[in-house]
Chains A and B, each alone.
Chain A
Amino acid sequence: QEKHKILHKLLQNGN
């Protein structure tokens, strides 16, 4: 997940 930081962040955040 460290390698896929932005995807992780976008999924965790609201819309």
Chain B
Amino acid sequence: SHLLVAEPEKLFAMPDPLQPDTAQRTLTTLCDLADRELVVIIGWAKHIPGFLSLSLADQMSVLQSVWLEVLVLGVAYRSLGCEDEVVFAEDFVLDEEMSRVAGLTELNAAISQLARRFRALNVDREEFVMLKAIALTNSDSVYIEDMEAVQKLRDLLHQALLELECQRRPDDPQRAGRLLLTLPLLRQTAGRALNTFYSIKTRGGVPMHKLFLEMLEA
């Protein structure tokens, strides 16, 4: 229930109505949304039990390594209800054709694959917020100084997931494990997203806010 309360309000992409609906507008909208989402993710992380007990340097290392996993997990969860469409925001849904035009085919295929995995598991909101918090603490950053403290947080959240599933689905002892086994695909998907954003940045021409650039470069 703590994680449900910590869940941020939804963001809107608000594509610029004065710009023609082109690949350029799609990419600009996407990068602007990602930047605002980052601010929200950083604020959200502070509400995850124990996160603020990490040193400031370790909070930074953790977020720098997992922010895109947290972001992608949110997008995949929002896309559960739509096959072959990726719901970056309620007012910013990209189908296969729009993705192709914007050069986002690979990213959208990857997020759709993750969403299919969650759909097959019928992941609900409680499980989504648990997984997102676990993904935060599942960092493998080599820059973390006190890994034991991060491991403790991870264990705490893992235990909470086990208890949740034990209460709600005592007939399905594999449920928690099945959810955790989606984390490798989440990491792979975030890797695809990083490649996509990095090549948008390298090609240039799409405005990117400072925080977004800072995190991409980290």
Set A6, A8, A12: member contacting B210, Cβ < 8 A: A6
Chain B, 34-69, CB within 8 A of any chain A CB? 39, 42-43, 46-47, 56-57, 59-60, 63-64
Contact A4 B46 (CB under 8 A): no
Given the complex, which residues of A lie within 8 Å of B210, measured CB to CB? 6
Contact B214 A5 (CB under 8 A): yes
- In the bound complex, how far is the Cα of B59 from the Cα of A1, in angstroms? 12
B-facing mask of A1-14, CB < 8 A → 1, else 0? Answer: 10111111011100
Contact B39 A7 (CB under 8 A): no
Q: Is the interface of B mostly helix, strand, loop or mixed?
A: helix
A-facing mask of B10-49, CB < 8 A → 1, else 0? Answer: 0000000000000000000000000000010011001100
Contact A12 B56 (CB under 8 A): yes
B215 CB–A CB distance under 8 Å: yes
A-B pairs under 8 A by CB, number: 37
Contact A11 B211 (CB under 8 A): no
- In the bound complex, how far is the Cα of B47 from the Cα of A14, in angstroms? 11
CB closest residue in chain A, given B45:
A11
Write the nearest CB–CB distance from A15 to chain B, whole angstroms.
5
Given the complex, which residues of B lie within 8 Å of A11, measured CB to CB? 42, 46, 56, 59-60, 63
Contact B64 A4 (CB under 8 A): yes
CB closest residue in chain A, given B67:
A7
- In the bound complex, how far is the Cα of B45 from the Cα of A10, in angstroms? 11
Set A1, A3, A10: member contacting B42, Cβ < 8 A: A10
Write the nearest CB–CB distance from B57 to chain A, whole angstroms.
7
- In the bound complex, how far is the Cα of B145 from the Cα of A1, in angstroms? 14
Set B39, B43, B214: member contacting A4, Cβ < 8 A: B214
- In the bound complex, how far is the Cα of B63 from the Cα of A6, in angstroms? 12
- In the bound complex, how far is the Cα of B57 from the Cα of A1, in angstroms? 8
7 A-B contact pairs sorted by A residue (CB < 8 Å) = A3-B214, A3-B218, A4-B214, A4-B218, A7-B63, A7-B214, A15-B43
